[in-house]
Structure 1
Amino acid sequence: MSVRPWRDIVRRQSRQIMVGNVPVGGDAPISVQTMTNTTTADVKATVDQIRRCEDAGADIVRVSCPDVESTTALKQIIRATNVPIVADIHFHYKRALEAADAGAACLRINPGNIGSAARVQEVVNAAKANGCAIRIGVNAGSLEKDLLEKYGEPCPEALVESALDHIRILEDHDFHEFKVAVKASDVFLAVAAYQQLAEAVDCPLHLGITEAGGLIGGTVKSSIGMGSLLWFGIGDTIRVSLSAEPEEEVRVGFEILKSLGIRNRGVRVVSCPSCARQGFDVIRTVQTLEERLAHIRTPMSLSVLGCVVNGPGEARETDIGITGGGAGKHMVYLSGVTDHHVQDADMIDHIVALVEAKAAEIEAGETAAMEAAE
């Protein structure tokens, strides 16, 4: 294969921390996060939601801990789930102490917001004792009053100064297991703030465009903002903030990473927007295939093209491909090579079976390779 330097992403060098058993920063894969929207004290509902997020591929899940009922439930939630859990704490330092003791892998807390140096020291001591990381989360919508007075409005410099102030507090307490976010709902503001912060610190950065919107609008904003940063090598872990179910945030996160070739999970679908030349209903076919192939975790590519204009060219670049033909008879490509035809009525079941078989083949090969290496 020819070298394509225009595809290279040179990742910013950051130090690595651990969030539970998930490495963040350094050369670790960029992790995908989300946040539950259930009442944390409702253990069953929260666990069920986290498990759906796990199925979607979430590496880390955050839960709100605004009260003692939530931190009391946290221990049961952590015991019943597999991903590291981040406890979202805003102002009450005791919630942070309780969450750390309950087994949280990370505390989302801004040390400058919790009061005296003695309180900060208590939180740091609890984090150290329990092996917790800390995420500093600066948000344009909740900047400190003195910074708003200084700068007049939320701006990149204000977000970065806030982050550096919080970082300094942790470092003064000899705590270094932290990551930082400087989020804003304005794409330009967020991107500029992250770019400035990336040059000022070596800690891992958690990317997000906050309050991005609904599934479509929020996906677009997040893709533009986080995609721009990731393209330039900035970012170690991401959350797509959507007014949608948390598992949708996870799926969109992986789609962003897949589109940049940063991290692959599941089936990457290449499909046409459809036109009058299509030999089958491309839109409905792709919708059905995405639903029926959502369980596939093995990375692979599938092209679904309605006609022979671009179909063969796209199929040559994918593991499995199909192009529309006449009289309800369509061409199937395997590893880029024409292989056989399939009829309309059998097409979707046939593609699903091919993808599942390919996934099993890839997984078997990986297992054999690992056994041989041992």
Structure 2
Amino acid sequence: MSVRPYRDIQRRASRQIHVGRVPVGGDAPITVQTMTNTPTADVAATVAQIRRAEAAGADIVRVSCPDEASSAALRHIVPQVSVPIVADIHFHYRRAIEAAENGAACLRINPGNIGSAERVREVVKAAKDHGCSMRIGVNAGSLEKHLLEKYGEPCPEAMVESALDHARILEDNDFFEFKISVKASDVFLAVAAYQGLADACDYPLHLGITEAGAQRVGTVKSSIGMGMLLWSGIGDTIRVSLSAPPEEEVKVGFDILKSLNLRHRGVNVISCPSCARQQFDVIETVKVLEDRLAHITTPMTVSVIGCVVNGPGEARETDIGITGGGNGTHMVYIAGQPHHRLKQADVVDHMVELIEQKAAELEAEKTASKNGAATAAAE
């Protein structure tokens, strides 16, 4: 029995595939993806952007391959990055084959849109030959004409039918290493489509609210839509679609997963909105603190509360906490317990020092545990 059953999320059972070395589905952690917006043929710019996404924690990065120069560039991009690369393919089957040959770990493609059965067979053969998985990517804005005529408009039923039609083409070619997405910019439509698809198949699902908008609005829409699905156990990999740099998409993706206790990376700062009771500038402190802690990947929870009303209670549940006190004297908590007072000192500098020290301790413990397990296994 769970100690806190109200926090439990029972993930939907799905089969597992691989995007390069990264497992997706089954019991694998929910992965975070993003997509580059540089011209893919500009190798230097694309590699630089992928590396920024990697630094933010991206597990998988997608690049668009609209032309031969783009698919050819993969040969030079893939060796320079650590994350597996998904090639985004629309309509032209040759781009898919070239992408597979040039190092893509996955092809984002709709089999029904690339031509004859023979062309589909060629793409599947290239994927099998080069160890590529695929993603069937259904979008409400580009549904097939016959489905729009059948249903009258983009709707959940049309999107699910489109996804299953494309899946059937791959299944008929004895190919099952794929995941599916049914994205829409309308939160209601996307959520209903994913719920229908989750009931209709056991393939891994790639979640997203497409064309969600600028950073603030897009974050809200994505959090509502994907949060509802993830909370109900649906979703194996996610991409937050923002009109913002790719690394910002990754940060929001991890924040969504952290909020649902599904994935932990870096420092989770719990802070109050501040009020007249605050004994230091909470808003500015948190802003600077998050920037200063961006390099830490060790999972950790930190509380920054401006006064003693909620401060001690919040600190009790965190690794490190600070609560504002009178006369410039604040209380610092370690592992939930009062530890020492901080008087007339820089809050940010002090907290960063403590957090970096704690992160180093946790990483050392993790390394020692791994080494101990390896030694025991070897004996």
TM above 0.5, yes or no, is yes
8 A Cα contact 1:306 1:323, kept in partner: yes
Deviations 1:267-300 (A, max 9, x none): 0010000100000111110000110000000000
Displacement of 1:2: 7.7
Q: Distance in 1 between matches of 2:331 and 2:195?
A: 47
For structure 2, which runs of at least 5 residues remain unmatched after alignment? 375-379
RMSD: 0.9
Partner of 2:226: 226
Instruction: Decide whether aligned partners of structure 1 residues 154 and 323 sit closer, same or farther in structure 2, where only a CA change above 3 A counts.
Output: same
Q: Distance in 1 between matches of 2:141 and 2:327?
A: 58
Give the TM-score normalised by structure 1.
0.99
Displacement of 1:73: 0.8
Partner of 1:279: 279
Deviations 1:203-239 (A, max 9, x none): 1000000000111100000000000000010000000
Q: Secondary structure at the match of 2:47?
A: helix
8 A Cα contact 1:133 1:177, kept in partner: yes
8 A Cα contact 1:40 1:64, kept in partner: yes
Q: Secondary structure at the match of 1:235?
A: coil
8 A Cα contact 2:88 2:109, kept in partner: yes
Instruction: Decide whether aligned partners of structure 1 residues 109 and 344 sit closer, same or farther in structure 2, where only a CA change above 3 A counts.
Output: farther
Q: Distance in 2 between matches of 1:288 and 1:307?
A: 19
Q: Distance in 2 between matches of 1:74 and 1:204?
A: 25
Instruction: Decide whether aligned partners of structure 1 residues 344 and 159 sit closer, same or farther in structure 2, where only a CA change above 3 A counts.
Output: farther
8 A Cα contact 1:18 1:24, kept in partner: yes
Partner of 1:217: 217
Q: Secondary structure at the match of 2:55?
A: helix
Instruction: Decide whether aligned partners of structure 1 residues 131 and 2 sit closer, same or farther in structure 2, where only a CA change above 3 A counts.
Output: closer
Q: Secondary structure at the match of 2:346?
A: helix
Q: How does 1:317-356 map to 2 (within 5 A)?
A: 317-356=317-356
Displacement of 1:28: 0.2
Q: Secondary structure at the match of 2:349?
A: helix
Amino acid at match of 1:109: I
8 A Cα contact 1:280 1:344, kept in partner: no
Q: Distance in 2 between matches of 1:344 and 1:315?
A: 20
Q: Distance in 2 between matches of 1:326 and 1:146?
A: 69
Q: How does 1:262-273 map to 2 (within 5 A)?
A: 262-273=262-273
Q: How does 1:188-227 map to 2 (within 5 A)?
A: 188-227=188-227
Q: Distance in 1 between matches of 2:266 and 2:181?
A: 28
8 A Cα contact 1:170 1:176, kept in partner: yes
Q: How does 1:53-202 map to 2 (within 5 A)?
A: 53-202=53-202
Partner of 1:3: 3
What's the % identity of the aligned pairs?
75
Q: Secondary structure at the match of 1:176?
A: coil
Partner of 1:48: 48
Q: Distance in 2 between matches of 1:345 and 1:44?
A: 44
Displacement of 1:316: 0.2
Deviations 1:282-324 (A, max 9, x none): 1110000110000000000000000000000000000000011
Q: Distance in 2 between matches of 1:85 and 1:151?
A: 35
Displacement of 1:347: 1.2
Q: How does 1:291-370 map to 2 (within 5 A)?
A: 291-370=291-370
Amino acid at match of 1:227: G
Deviations 1:165-221 (A, max 9, x none): 000000000000000000000001000000000011011000000000111100000
Q: Secondary structure at the match of 1:27?
A: coil
Instruction: Decide whether aligned partners of structure 1 residues 32 and 2 sit closer, same or farther in structure 2, where only a CA change above 3 A counts.
Output: closer
Q: How does 1:250-269 map to 2 (within 5 A)?
A: 250-269=250-269
Give the TM-score normalised by structure 2.
0.98
Q: Distance in 1 between matches of 2:369 and 2:181?
A: 39
4+ long deviations beyond 6 Å: none
Displacement of 1:346: 2.0
Q: Distance in 2 between matches of 1:344 and 1:150?
A: 70
Q: Distance in 2 between matches of 1:172 and 1:343?
A: 70
Amino acid at match of 2:292: R
Displacement of 1:343: 3.2
Q: Distance in 2 between matches of 1:289 and 1:194?
A: 37
8 A Cα contact 1:140 1:159, kept in partner: yes
Deviations 1:132-191 (A, max 9, x none): 000000000000011011101100000000000000000000000000000000001000
Q: Secondary structure at the match of 2:70?
A: helix
8 A Cα contact 1:330 1:342, kept in partner: yes
Amino acid at match of 1:220: V
8 A Cα contact 2:285 2:347, kept in partner: no
